[in-house]
Structure 1
Amino acid sequence: MKLFNRTITSQGSSFLKTFLLIGLILSPLKLIEGIAFAGSSDRAIEVASWLKVEAEVFEVWTSEEISPERVRFTKADGAQSAGERSDSSANKTVLFIFPKKSSAYNTALSTSLRVFADRDIFPEVEVVLMEKENNKRLEVIEAAEAEGVDLIFATGSSSAKFAFKNYWGGRIPVVTICAKDPVMLGQMPAYNVGSGSNMAFTSLNVPVGLQGRYLKELNPNLRNVAVLFANENKSAIKTQYEPLVAWGKENGVNVLGVGVSQKHAADELAEVVPSAVEKMRLTDPTLKESIFWITGSTSVFREIATVNAHSSTVPVLSVVPDVVKAGNDTAVMSIGVGFQSNAQLAAIYGVNVLTGKTRVGDLPVGLVEPPDIAISFLKAREIGMKVPFSFLERASTIYGNSGAIARSKGKNLVAEVD
Structure 2
Amino acid sequence: MKLFNRTITSQGSSFLKTFLLIGLILSPLKLIEGIAFAGSSDRAIEVASWLKVEAEVFEVWTSEEISPERVRFTKADGAQSAGELSDSSANKTVLFIFPKKSSAYNTALSTSLRVFADRDIFPKVEVVLMEKDNNKRLEVIEAAEAEGVDLIFATGSSSAKFAFNNYWGGRIPVVTICAKDPVMLGQMPAYNVGSGSNMAFTSLNVPVGLQGRYLKELNPNLRNVAVLFANENKSAIKTQYEPLVAWGKEHGVNVLGVGVSQKHAADELAEVVPSAVEKMRLTDPTLKESIFWITGSTSVFREIATVNAHSSTVPVLSVVPDVVKAGNDTAVMSIGVGFQSNAQLAAIYGVNVLTGKTRVGDLPVGLVEPPDIAISFLKAREIGMKVPFSFLERASTIYGNSGAIARSKGKNLVAEVD
TM-score between the two structures when normalised by the length of structure 1: 0.96
Deviation of the 1:42 alpha carbon: 0.6
Closer/same/farther in 2, CA of residues 3 and 301 from structure 1, 3 Å limit: farther
Q: Distance in 1 between matches of 2:352 and 2:330?
A: 37
Partner of 2:371: 371
Partner of 1:414: 414
Q: Distance in 2 between matches of 1:5 and 1:105?
A: 40
Closer/same/farther in 2, CA of residues 351 and 300 from structure 1, 3 Å limit: same
**Equivalenced residues, count:** 418
Deviation of the 1:266 alpha carbon: 1.4
Contact 1:204-1:339 within 8 A present in 2 as well: yes
Q: Distance in 2 between matches of 1:151 and 1:346?
A: 12
Contact 1:37-1:415 within 8 A present in 2 as well: no
Contact 2:3-2:414 within 8 A present in 1 as well: no
Contact 1:72-1:127 within 8 A present in 2 as well: yes
Deviation of the 1:285 alpha carbon: 0.7
1:89-148 per-residue CA deviation (whole Å, 9 max, x = no partner) reads 000000000000000000000000000000000000000001311111100111111111
1:31-85 per-residue CA deviation (whole Å, 9 max, x = no partner) reads 6667666654211111111111001100000001111111000000010000000
Contact 1:111-1:340 within 8 A present in 2 as well: yes
The alignment partner of 2:87 has SS state of helix
Contact 1:108-1:177 within 8 A present in 2 as well: yes
Partner of 2:400: 400
Contact 1:174-1:198 within 8 A present in 2 as well: yes
Closer/same/farther in 2, CA of residues 5 and 155 from structure 1, 3 Å limit: farther
Q: Distance in 1 between matches of 2:10 and 2:125?
A: 45
Deviation of the 1:299 alpha carbon: 1.1
Closer/same/farther in 2, CA of residues 252 and 408 from structure 1, 3 Å limit: same
Closer/same/farther in 2, CA of residues 4 and 169 from structure 1, 3 Å limit: farther
The alignment partner of 1:125 has SS state of strand
Q: Distance in 2 between matches of 1:5 and 1:189?
A: 49
The alignment partner of 1:357 has SS state of coil
Q: Distance in 2 between matches of 1:398 and 1:313?
A: 21
Identity of aligned residues (%): 99
Q: Distance in 1 between matches of 2:220 and 2:417?
A: 43
Closer/same/farther in 2, CA of residues 38 and 105 from structure 1, 3 Å limit: closer
Contact 2:175-2:202 within 8 A present in 1 as well: yes
Q: Distance in 2 between matches of 1:59 and 1:5?
A: 34
The alignment partner of 2:314 has SS state of coil
Closer/same/farther in 2, CA of residues 37 and 166 from structure 1, 3 Å limit: closer
Closer/same/farther in 2, CA of residues 208 and 361 from structure 1, 3 Å limit: same
Q: Which has the higher contact order (CA 8 A, sep 6+)?
A: 1
Contact 2:375-2:399 within 8 A present in 1 as well: yes
User: Unaligned 5+ residue runs, structure 1?
Assistant: none
Deviation of the 1:415 alpha carbon: 5.3
Contact 2:315-2:383 within 8 A present in 1 as well: yes
Contact 1:92-1:124 within 8 A present in 2 as well: yes
Farther-moved stretch of structure 1 (221-230 vs 31-40):
31-40
TM-score between the two structures when normalised by the length of structure 2: 0.96
Q: Does 1:197 align with 2:193?
A: no
Closer/same/farther in 2, CA of residues 377 and 181 from structure 1, 3 Å limit: same
Contact 1:35-1:417 within 8 A present in 2 as well: no
